[in-house]
């Protein structure tokens, strides 16, 4: 098994955190894992993305030329990555701000209004965690308890209220999508 995922969006939407937390949990599940962020002369509000490879064997290239999953948190990311995703792969999109849809018919689409859901919870910043709830359930690579434990470890020093909000956000995303 070798699964590659690209998380993408605006800088500030927490897409690198999505990738890092997913990679962290996959590591704790016992998988081989690589995390490769985009880097360079980026600007605030510009695009950010990272590539996660999860496998049950040694991972050679951390680059994904044909990702199995792509998570797009904004419209430019959809345009950038819709043609990279492998045939039969799944695109997760933040339908709160992504109004367009991929023109391809050979991929599955999982639309999650995670921006609106986050705003309802009173904090737009958990939109990424809501999306992770949907992602974790749909992909089934990492069990939810393993993922939540990783989020706890990563957020270690943060306030209890933050941890509870993350848990709530994750559950909302998890329950939003069907198996």
Partner 1 sequence: MNKVLMSGNNIIGEAAIRAGCRFYAGYPITPQNELTEYMAEHLRTVEGGVFLQSESEIAAIHMITGASATGARVMTSSSSPGISLKQEGISSMAACELPGIIVNIMRGGPGLGNIRPAQGDYFQATRGGGHGDYRTIVFGPATCQELADLTMDAFDLADKYRTPVMILADGMMGQMMEPVIFKKPKPRQYNEKFMLRGAGHGKSKIIRGLILDPIDMEEHNWKLARKYQVIIDHETLHEEYKTEDAKLVIVAYGTSARIAKGAIKRLRDKGMKVGLFRPITLWPFPELKLRKLAEKINNFLVFEMSTGQMLEDVRLALQGYADIGFHGRPGGVVPTPAELANVVARHYEKKD
DSSP string, 120-162: HTT-GGGHHHHHHHHHHHHH-SS-HHHHHHHHHHHTTTS-HHH
**Residue 49 in contact with partner 1, rule: CB under 8 A:** no
Return the residue of 11, 17, 29, 62 that touches partner 1, per CB under 8 A: 62
**Residue 37 in contact with partner 1, rule: CB under 8 A:** yes
When the beta carbons of 62 and 123 are compared against partner 1, the nearer one is 62
Helix 127-139 with 144-154: angle, nearest 10 deg: 150
Return the residue of 1, 43, 58, 179 that touches partner 1, per CB under 8 A: 58
Which of these ranges, 22-30, 86-94, 102-110, 155-163, lies near partner 1 under the rule CB under 8 A? 22-30
When the beta carbons of 52 and 136 are compared against partner 1, the nearer one is 52
Minimum distance of partner 1 from residue 74's CB (angstroms): 22
Q: Judge residue 15's burial from the number of C-beta atoms within 10 Å of its C-beta, 0-12 exposed, 13-18 middle, 19 or more buried.
A: buried
Return the residue of 3, 18, 36, 71 that touches partner 1, per CB under 8 A: 36
When the beta carbons of 59 and 155 are compared against partner 1, the nearer one is 59
When the beta carbons of 6 and 36 are compared against partner 1, the nearer one is 36
Largest CA distance in the chain: 44
Minimum distance of partner 1 from residue 59's CB (angstroms): 8
Which of these ranges, 7-15, 59-67, 123-131, 159-167, lies near partner 1 under the rule CB under 8 A? 59-67
When the beta carbons of 36 and 91 are compared against partner 1, the nearer one is 36
Buried b (16+ CB within 10 A) or exposed e, 88-121: ebbbbbbbbbbeeebeeeebeebbbbbbbbbeeb
> Which residues lie near partner 1 (CB under 8 A)?
20, 23-24, 27, 32-37, 39-41, 58-63, 65
């Amino acid at each position: 098994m070798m699964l590659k995922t690209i998380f993408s969006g605006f800088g500030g939407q927490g897409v690198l955190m999505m990738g890092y937390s997913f990679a962290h949990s996959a590591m704790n599940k016992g998988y081989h894992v690589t995390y490769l962020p985009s880097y360079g002369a980026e600007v605030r509000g510009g695009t950010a993305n990272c590539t996660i490879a999860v496998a049950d064997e040694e991972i050679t290239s951390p680059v994904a030329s044909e990702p199995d999953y792509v998570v797009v948190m904004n419209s430019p990311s959809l345009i950038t990555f819709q043609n990279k995703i492998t045939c039969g792969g799944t695109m997760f999109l933040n339908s709160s701000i992504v109004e367009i849809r991929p023109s391809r018919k050979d991929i599955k689409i999982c639309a999650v209004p995670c921006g609106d859901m986050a705003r309802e919870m009173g904090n737009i910043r958990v939109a990424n965690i809501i999306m992770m709830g949907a992602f974790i359930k749909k992909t089934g690579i990492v069990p939810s308890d393993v993922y939540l434990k990783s989020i706890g470890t990563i957020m270690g020093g943060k306030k209890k209220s933050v941890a509870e909000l993350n848990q709530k956000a994750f559950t909302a995303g998890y329950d939003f999508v069907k198996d």
